[in-house]
Amino acid sequence: MTKEEKVSRLIQYLKNENRSYDTLAEPVDSVGKRRLLRSLMNVRFPGPALNGYMELQDELLTEEAQEKGLVKVEELPTAAEEFGIGQVRNADRMSLWRGDITRLQADAIVNAANSQLLGCFVPCHGCIDNAIHSAAGIQLRNACAELMEEQGHEEPTGKAKITPGYNLPAAHVIHTVGPIVGLKVTEKQKEELKSCYVSCLKLAEKEGLKNIVFCCISTGEFHFPNKLAAEIAVDTADRFLTGSKLERVVFNVFKEEDYNIYKKLFKKALL
């Protein structure tokens, strides 16, 4: 079965789950078909899938992960190797990497989630929550739904939950809810963002993980200023690593702006 045939079959599975999709036309081009499949996955509510869906979905997502190319966290240069020794004490246990977080082969990647913890329901949205759930498969939303049902309330800002990574190269996903900033960042929001990093680091250590990859929590849809967020991220991780068994903390960025911000922080000389 070709990749396009797998996509068409999976679209049909999801259309069969919901009769309101009966009139939904399948695009003729492969890019359009793949976008439709992702959209249907994005809007799908948690629940078991029809027989045969999971196996075919996993086969497709594994194939796509291989096509994108896997990046092993332990093979990334450390910040100390790339930028020298500056004011960051544990730069030899940190890395900065720019690219698609769903390519990273790590013990855990961090997802900037919303308080429902169910992923992004907006079809093909550009947020990291959508990207991670789309690459992991519908199992990730199902796992998050189980956690939330057990918890009985929305996930508080600054806390963290862990799930398997399913079809991601990362073994686990750690979900954390960052603060949503309005016109001005408050001291409370600064502490909440710090709490996101501490909660994720503590959870990773508790689970016996050796490495963790952070995205730029709260800087996208939640409007936390990029430079301040990076300063909190690096300082919090640096303090935590002193006395921690974690071997590597990776800061994953997608935009050049964020890469330059982190680079300057690592290159900043000791006073």
Q: Are 101 and 111 in contact (CB under 8 A)?
A: no
pLDDT over 70, % of the chain: 99
What was the pLDDT predicted at 84? 86
Distance CA 43, CA 233 (A): 32
Q: Are 129 and 119 in contact (CB under 8 A)?
A: yes
Q: What 3-state class would DSSP assign to 176?
A: strand
Mean pLDDT of the chain: 95
pTM: 0.95
Residue 270 has pLDDT above 70, yes or no: no
**What average pLDDT does range 212-216 have in this prediction?**
97
Helix 138-151 to helix 53-68 angle, to the nearest 10 degrees?
110
What was the pLDDT predicted at 268? 80
Distance CA 158, CA 193 (A): 6
Distance CA 150, CA 153 (A): 9
Distance CA 27, CA 134 (A): 19
Distance CA 139, CA 250 (A): 25
Q: 242-267: per-residue pLDDT in tens?
A: 989 999 999 999 999 999 999 999 99
Boundaries of CATH 3.40.220.10 in the chain?
71-267
Q: Are 230 and 216 in contact (CB under 8 A)?
A: yes
The CATH H-level (homologous superfamily) assignment of domain 71-267 is Leucine Aminopeptidase, subunit E, domain 1 (3.40.220.10)
Q: How confident is the model at residue 139 (pLDDT cuts 50, 70, 90)?
A: very high
**What average pLDDT does range 99-126 have in this prediction?**
97
Nearest to 130 by CA among 10, 64, 217, 42: 42
What was the pLDDT predicted at 86? 85
What was the pLDDT predicted at 271? 42
